[in-house]
Amino acid sequence: MSISMGEWVTLVLGSFPLLGLLLWWWNELWYVLPLKLRHSPTGAKLPPGHMGLPFLGEIFTFHWYFKIVRRPDDFINAKRAKYGDGVGMYRTHLFGSPTIIACFPGINKFVFQSDETFILDWPNVDIVGASSIVAVHGKSHTKVRSYVVSVINRPDALRRISQLVQPRMVAALESWALKGRVKGYHEARKVTFENIGKLFVSLEPGPLLDTIDNLFTGLVTGIRAHPLNIPGSAYRHALQCRKKLEDIFRVELEKKKTLKEGVTNDLMDGLMQIKDDEGNKLSDQEVLDNIVSLVVAGYASTSLSTMWTLYYLAKYPDVLQKLCEENMAIHENKTGEFIMYEDVLKMKYTNKVVEETIRLANIAAFVFRLATKEVEYKGYKIPKDWRVIVWVRYLHANSENFDDPMCFNPDRWNEPAKPGTYQVFGGGSRICAGNLLVKIQLAVFLHHLSVGYKWKLVNPDAEMIYLPHPLPVDKVDITFNKI
């Protein structure tokens, strides 16, 4: 019996809906069905949601909200509308893994506090270094973290750093005014990296620092790339950049060994010299790995938050006015060119502007964890080996947590945020190790900016991009002049 052409066409067309249904349900059958069939003694179930298409999961929906319609928070709003609130957990498949999204304070806290169950699992840790703070766990992490925090995030360190960064900030602002029109993002990156050079390894601007900057750009690109070590791949290029950076930093490290202790007093010195209670020091490799990871963690985050201060203050002149008043009062009473750490502690309004900038900018939108075992939270289970994405951005953009959340309003910080709703720096034992460092840098920058300069956005209605970080498309194009 032969099948006619017409019957073939009908068969093929008729199978499309079936094929579509199969694709739509494939991930649900593959990942969810076996878990549902397994009896749970407590009756816990998987969080609501949908696992999307095979391999791709919900990546198109994610891109739809983040790249096409540019309303990133509607990715979660759509889930809440479709599946209900529950406890703020949804199942999905994103970035190549079955995933639980956590977006309410309670579940976020649970994830952050259970750090043996939910481990930090950086992709391609070989690029930042196996003994870097972000690569180690348990006791090793506690040890490395205590060294790192001592040299960048304690009052003594902050006092010193607040002095070291000001000359380059002042020089940068003067150079912007001379140019008259600048891209805030590019200039913020430049001054941030100059300060990183000075703070980390006592390097002045010049060809070596430019080389290091380029190498870091290559290195960062490879962190989230597919780990394919073949010619031309971003991963291989990142490994090569890492190797060259390590060579450069090793030369600096060896130079320091021949100098008297504390001659340069930079972060590399700090990491080399600091001892724990038993007198143990970090090894050379630990110092190098942690210098690399601190630059990775601090470079983009500090540049972007500096850029956002320019943007928000241009958009909110009333805030700028109040900021100017507070800083002028300090400026008029100070003796030298630079402000002191103690001045910054007194700058109440400036510190609220810093907090509000970091809340609204949402530079780190998500925090990634890996579930090392199956756990339950309020009747829902998080399966072993699934990724957990703590969607911190949603906390800060949710009107249940912050009134009029998209408005830049430093005065909201007259009261502390509701518990668990402000997680810009993550939480638990992995909370950002540079949170005070970035705040002090922003505060001193705001001081010099507000007392000496005026600026305007060239495109006040510029569209936003949200990936990999939030940024106006024109990179904050501004006219910039002395007052």
CA distance 410 to 387: 34
Residue in 88, 218, 410, 434 binding ligand HEM, rule: CB under 6 A: 434
Nearer to ligand HEM, 91 or 430 (CB): 430
User: Residue 432 interacts with ligand HEM (CB under 6 A)?
Assistant: yes
User: Residue 437 interacts with ligand HEM (CB under 6 A)?
Assistant: yes
Looking only at the bridges linking them, the beta strands covering 387-390 and 97-102 are: parallel
Nearer to ligand HEM, 238 or 364 (CB): 364
Piece of 18-26, 144-152, 208-216, 464-472 that binds ligand HEM (CB under 6 A): 144-152
The distance of closest approach from Cβ of residue 468 to ligand HEM in the complex, given in angstroms and rounded to an integer, is 13
Nearer to ligand HEM, 32 or 135 (CB): 135
The distance of closest approach from Cβ of residue 182 to ligand HEM in the complex, given in angstroms and rounded to an integer, is 21
Residues 97-126 that bind ligand HEM (CB under 6 A): 120
Nearer to ligand HEM, 169 or 358 (CB): 358
Partner residues linked to 465 by β-bridges: 471
> Is 117:372 a contact under the CB 8 Å cutoff?
yes
Piece of 145-153, 396-404, 409-417, 446-454 that binds ligand HEM (CB under 6 A): 145-153
Q: How many CA atoms lie within 13 A of 157 on its CB side?
A: 23
User: Residue 302 interacts with ligand HEM (CB under 6 A)?
Assistant: yes
What SS3 string covers 354-388?
HHHHHHHHCCCCCEEEEECCCEEECCEEECCCCEE
Piece of 92-100, 158-166, 268-276, 428-436 that binds ligand HEM (CB under 6 A): 428-436
User: Residue 364 interacts with ligand HEM (CB under 6 A)?
Assistant: yes
- Number of residues binding to ligand HEM, judged by CB under 6 A: 25
The distance of closest approach from Cβ of residue 357 to ligand HEM in the complex, given in angstroms and rounded to an integer, is 8
CA distance 281 to 165: 27
Q: 423-456 burial by CB neighbour count: b if 16+ within 10 A, else e?
A: bbbbbbebebbbbbbbbbbbbbbbbbbbbbbebe
Unique residue bearing structure tokens 């059958």: 29
Identity at 120, one-letter amino acid code: L
Residue in 172, 253, 367, 449 binding ligand HEM, rule: CB under 6 A: 367
User: Residue 358 interacts with ligand HEM (CB under 6 A)?
Assistant: yes
Residue 93: which H helix or E strand, with range?
Answer: strand 89-94
The distance of closest approach from Cβ of residue 257 to ligand HEM in the complex, given in angstroms and rounded to an integer, is 24
Nearer to ligand HEM, 239 or 437 (CB): 437
Looking only at the bridges linking them, the beta strands covering 453-457 and 477-482 are: antiparallel
Phi, psi of 347 (to 5 degrees): -80, 75
Residue 432 assigned as binding residue: yes
Unique residue bearing structure tokens 């990491």: 271
| Beta strand segments in 143-278, E | 181-183
User: Residue 297 interacts with ligand HEM (CB under 6 A)?
Assistant: yes
Residue number closest to ligand HEM, CB atom: 434
User: Residue 425 interacts with ligand HEM (CB under 6 A)?
Assistant: yes
User: Residue 133 interacts with ligand HEM (CB under 6 A)?
Assistant: yes
181 three-class SS: strand
The distance of closest approach from Cβ of residue 42 to ligand HEM in the complex, given in angstroms and rounded to an integer, is 28
The distance of closest approach from Cβ of residue 115 to ligand HEM in the complex, given in angstroms and rounded to an integer, is 9
Nearer to ligand HEM, 363 or 451 (CB): 363
Residue in 50, 79, 93, 145 binding ligand HEM, rule: CB under 6 A: 145
Piece of 229-237, 316-324, 335-343, 361-369 that binds ligand HEM (CB under 6 A): 361-369
User: Residue 301 interacts with ligand HEM (CB under 6 A)?
Assistant: yes
Nearer to ligand HEM, 220 or 364 (CB): 364
465 three-class SS: strand
Angle between helices 284-315 and 317-333 (to 10 degrees): 120
Taking CB atoms within 8 Å and a gap of at least 24, the contacts of 217-223 are 219/127, 219/245, 219/292, 219/296, 220/296, 220/299, 220/300, 222/124, 222/127, 223/122, 223/123, 223/124, 223/127, 223/128, 223/296
> Is 148:271 a contact under the CB 8 Å cutoff?
yes
x/- site string to ligand HEM, residues 303 to 342, per CB under 6 A? --x-------------------------------------
**Numbered residues of the known binding site for heme:** 432
